[in-house]
Amino acid sequence: MDFTFTEEQQAAAEAAKAVFSGVAPDAVPSPALTPGAVSEDLDRPLWARLAAADLLSLTAPPEHGGAGLDAVALCLVLRESARVLARVPLLETSAVAMTVGRYASPETAAALLPRVGRGELVLTAASQGRTGHDPAERAVTARRDGTAWLLDGLQTAVPWAHGADLVAVPAHTAEGRSVLALLPRAHDGLTLTAQYSTNGELLAELRLDAVRLDAADVIDTEGAWEWLRGILTTGTCALALGLGETVLTMTSQYTGKREQFGHPVATFQAVAMQTADRYIDLRAMEATLWQAAWRLSSASEGRLPATGDIAVAKIWASEGVRRVVQTAQHLHGGFGADTDYPLHRYHAWAKHLELSLGPAAAHEEALGDLLATHPLG
């Protein structure tokens, strides 16, 4: 398998590095010292810079002003954003926009995607369901009412919902199909309640009570929600990788300077073994991430469906990012909990990503079910 990135993908990563180079991870109050949200809105100036660098239109089709790149390019950009804890819904907006371009009507795509690329429209997605453990599409019901749709239900822990213009909400019909509603943040029958993540960011519980949407605002094409869920999950793995790599670099720099008994602690065998183990975690996270992103981006048929590769990436990302930050805290000693030092922020973001991905045991069970239904022998 060839994991060499194309020139276009490498250019996207370089553009992202340039945009994120001036972002400070501690630009908002510490979540450890803030009882509520660290901020009421996303980083709008950074959002504008992403639009100016054409990174918000990265995956949009050329006919809508985009570069037409794939999930691999998006994950390269997300990896860079996580290195600085960028407070923007880049993953959610890009994933929903990709889904609109792939599954929505041409009229809907033409109305939304150019505005997304210019930074005028912020999108997010409800992917956690009621509890974060049940399928998100089962948390909301969708039924036809003439030419319109009526939606009822609840979605929890929706990121950036208070600042987004549209929320992509999965729902299920009486026939068992999944549909994807593009719901304006301010809409009759929709109530947003504030929730807070471990990293201090403002989330929302969405309660839908007979929300009526026109047919044009509901994507009922088969596979739309499954595609969006795959992009969101793979993108979250990319965020975990970028964060973990930065944390390991911070740990290496600290242990290289911190001395005990007249020697840098990095020279102690126990420290070297722990950091080597975390390096292996990160390389496994990287390999499984690119495999999942490649499967989403290509039409290649495998022995397992792409959900199998995504499950493997989730297993490594959810476990790996936790192990990396735990080891970093251990090797930093009490310094890792100092709120004047950024490591505690990375730890809080890592826990948010781990919770978003879900427990590795659940993904292992899902992978086992796939192997049972798709024998490799």
What DSSP assignment string belongs to 83-139? Answer: HTT--S-HHHHHHHHHHHHHHS-HHHHHHHHHHHHTT---EEE--STTTSSS-GGGG
pLDDT value, residue 300 = 73
Give the DSSP letter of residue 57: S
Q: pLDDT tens-digit profile of 40-89?
A: 999 999 999 999 999 999 999 999 999 999 999 999 999 999 999 999 99
Contact 89, 42 (CB under 8 A): yes
Label residue 328 by pLDDT band (50, 70, 90): very high
Q: What are phi and psi of 375, to 5 degrees?
A: -55, 135
pLDDT value, residue 377 = 61
Q: pLDDT tens-digit profile of 96-111?
A: 999 999 999 999 999 9
* Mean pLDDT across 213-221: 96
Asked whether the predicted pLDDT for residue 281 surpasses 70, the reply is: yes
Question: In whole numbers, what is the pLDDT of the chain averaged over residues?
Answer: 93
Residue environment code for 311-342, b if the CB has 16+ CB neighbours within 10 A, otherwise e: bbbbbbbbbbbbbbbebbbebbeeebeeeeeb
pLDDT value, residue 140 = 97
Label residue 268 by pLDDT band (50, 70, 90): confident
pLDDT value, residue 131 = 83
* Lowest mean pLDDT across 105-109, 150-154, 176-180, 366-370: 366-370
Label residue 259 by pLDDT band (50, 70, 90): low
pLDDT value, residue 18 = 98
* Mean pLDDT across 12-41: 95
* Mean pLDDT across 243-256: 93
* Mean pLDDT across 223-250: 97
pTM for this prediction: 0.96
d(CA 94, CA 47): 12
Q: pLDDT tens-digit profile of 177-188?
A: 999 999 999 999
Label residue 2 by pLDDT band (50, 70, 90): low
Give the DSSP letter of residue 35: S
Label residue 252 by pLDDT band (50, 70, 90): very high
312 compared with 364, residue with greater pLDDT:
312
pLDDT value, residue 298 = 87
Asked whether the predicted pLDDT for residue 333 surpasses 80, the reply is: yes
d(CA 78, CA 96): 15
pLDDT value, residue 1 = 56
Asked whether the predicted pLDDT for residue 93 surpasses 80, the reply is: yes
Total residue count of the chain as it appears in this document:
377
* Mean pLDDT across 277-282: 96
